Amino acid sequence: MRHEVRMRIRGLMPEKLIERARELNVRFLSIEPGSDHEITVEVSAPDAEKLSALCARFSIPCEVLSRRGKSALSAAIRRRWTLLIGVIVMIAACQALLGRVWRVDVRFIGDSAALGDPVAIGEALREMGVYPGMARDIDPRRLSEELLSRCEGLSYAGARLQGVRLSIEAAPEAASPEVYDVRVPRDLYADRSGIVVSVNAEAGQPCVKPGDTVRRGQLLIRGEEQRTKEETRAIAALGEVVLRTWFEGSAMGRTAVERWEDTGRASTAATLRTPWLEIPITGGTSYEHQTEQVDELPIGGLYAPVSIERVTRRQRRVRREAADRDALIRSLSALAVADARARLSSEGIVKYDITRCWTRVNELSTDALKVSAVLEITTNTAVTTEALRQGG
């Protein structure tokens, strides 16, 4: 694209000006004669400056009509130099903002994520100089290693930069299994009632067998072993007794639903209201069950605060409809199962397997249903006396 400036020159003898400009090595790209001693020319940007200076020297009117290419760009920049400064400042501000960490997120992962301590992680990061607003010149690998060495109880720590966000992932160490001291005699008892499925006595004498029904607190494995035919000694009982037990939940609902509908009967009452008194215009009928709609009609304008209040009352009645029985049973079954799971969670059982789940429907009355859900689980019920005393 040619870089051109289009100019209009007015004067008595513009041709003389053109000749004088050519003597100054001004190259015209085009010359268009006009009326009333007027010509329109196209020149390059440097020649436009020479031509403008020549016109100013001889007091000849000269007007720039348009610019194209670099000439137009430079002219626009000169006209809007403050905008250019603003763009430069904005770019610098964006670079300054994007060059820092503005958010630090800590997330715990792994099987023991619930044991994570976000307060300890936050204190360790502050001691390491990691905080929102810090520069992004962070070595994630070094940060992970230092965090792992500072915080006890972590099996893994990782850091990752994602734009202006620093993501910290930490995995708490799994809880150590209970250590059995074989030198301390003890027995194992049932922490809940149910039917025995299997018995695995690693140390001690089993007191129950599969198929037996046990109650909470019943002795399962006695902490003793036979040394000789006549002599026994007390040891720490060790083993598992898998028990089958049940948790029940329930939910109730109605087979008939009540819906409100308009009867079609309505009445209207009107009252003339002023700041000093109220004058009834027409009365109306009130219903036992109704809806009211109040409309106010000003009649005095801005000068007299007088209005007519109209109250429309519509009679309503209750209509009973039969609910969708199948949909109701499905909904109540889901609620009953959720209730049974909530009861199971409230017992604090950590490890268990759900072997069966079933529901049954009971008619409480002509318009009420009750759905009961039963969860059958298997779990190890053998605990020590201390655990039994603390609730299992």
Task: State the average pLDDT for the chain.
Answer: 82
Q: How does pLDDT run across 79-136, given as a tens digit for each residue?
A: 666 766 777 777 776 666 677 878 888 888 877 777 788 888 888 888 888 888 888 7
Shared domain for 232 and 278, answered yes or no, is no
Task: Look at residue 229 and tell me if it is in a domain.
Answer: yes
Calculated CA dihedral for residues 23, 25, 28, 32, nearest 10 degrees:
-20
Shared domain for 114 and 247, answered yes or no, is no
Q: In CATH, what number is assigned to the domain containing residue 124?
A: 3.10.20.310
Alpha helix segments (H runs only) across the chain: 14-23, 45-57, 70-79, 81-98, 118-127, 140-150, 325-346, 385-389
Q: What is the pLDDT of residue 74?
A: 62
Long-range contacts of 211-218 (CB under 8 A, 24+ apart): 214/190, 214/243, 214/381, 215/190, 216/190, 216/191, 216/192, 216/388, 217/189, 217/190, 217/388, 218/189, 218/190
Q: Domain limits at 389?
A: 183-255+323-392
Please, which pLDDT band fits residue 1 given cuts at 50, 70 and 90?
very low
Shared domain for 379 and 333, answered yes or no, is yes
Q: What is the pLDDT of residue 241?
A: 92
The Cα 233–Cα 317 span in angstroms is: 81
Task: Look at residue 92 and tell me if it is in a domain.
Answer: no
Backbone angles phi, psi at 117, to 5 degrees: -115, 95
Long-range contacts of 214-218 (CB under 8 A, 24+ apart): 214/190, 214/243, 214/381, 215/190, 216/190, 216/191, 216/192, 216/388, 217/189, 217/190, 217/388, 218/189, 218/190
Of residues 175, 176, 177, the one with CA closest to residue 115: 175
Shared domain for 248 and 268, answered yes or no, is no
Q: What is the pLDDT of residue 81?
A: 63
Shared domain for 156 and 197, answered yes or no, is no
Please determine, for residue 71, whether its predicted confidence score (pLDDT) is greater than 60: no
Instruction: Tell me the one-letter amino acid at 273.
Output: R
Shared domain for 203 and 283, answered yes or no, is no
The DSSP output letter for 276 is S
Shared domain for 373 and 245, answered yes or no, is yes
Contact 288, 313 (CB under 8 A): no
Q: Name the residue with higher pLDDT: 133 or 303.
A: 133
Task: Look at residue 312 and tell me if it is in a domain.
Answer: yes
The Cα 314–Cα 264 span in angstroms is: 7
Shared domain for 347 and 219, answered yes or no, is yes
Name 253's bridge partners: 369
Please, which pLDDT band fits residue 183 given cuts at 50, 70 and 90?
low
Contact 303, 316 (CB under 8 A): no
Tell me the three state secondary structure of residue 125: helix
Shared domain for 108 and 216, answered yes or no, is no
Shared domain for 14 and 33, answered yes or no, is yes
Shared domain for 237 and 343, answered yes or no, is yes
Contact 357, 337 (CB under 8 A): yes
Task: Look at residue 85 and tell me if it is in a domain.
Answer: no
The Cα 26–Cα 62 span in angstroms is: 15
Task: Look at residue 86 and tell me if it is in a domain.
Answer: no
Residues shown for the chain: 392
The last residue of one of the domains, among 321, 345, 367, is 321
Give the count of domains, the chain.
Answer: 4
Backbone angles phi, psi at 200, to 5 degrees: -130, 90
Shared domain for 313 and 246, answered yes or no, is no
Q: Which residues contact 57 (CB under 8 A, 6 or more apart)?
A: none
Please determine, for residue 297, whether its predicted confidence score (pLDDT) is greater than 80: yes
Q: What is the pLDDT of residue 392?
A: 46
Least confident of 25-39, 66-80, 351-365: 66-80
Tell me the three state secondary structure of residue 384: coil
The Cα 209–Cα 199 span in angstroms is: 6
Task: Look at residue 93 and tell me if it is in a domain.
Answer: no
The DSSP output letter for 228 is S
Task: Look at residue 378 and tell me if it is in a domain.
Answer: yes
The last residue of one of the domains, among 304, 321, 338, is 321
User: 10 Å Cβ neighbour count for 165?
Assistant: 13
Q: What is the pLDDT of residue 214?
A: 92
Q: In CATH, what number is assigned to the domain containing residue 16?
A: 3.30.70.250
Q: What is the 3-state secondary structure (H, E, C) of 170-190?
A: EEECCCCCCCCCCCCCECEEE
Q: How does pLDDT run across 43-61, given as a tens digit for each residue?
A: 888 888 888 888 888 888 8
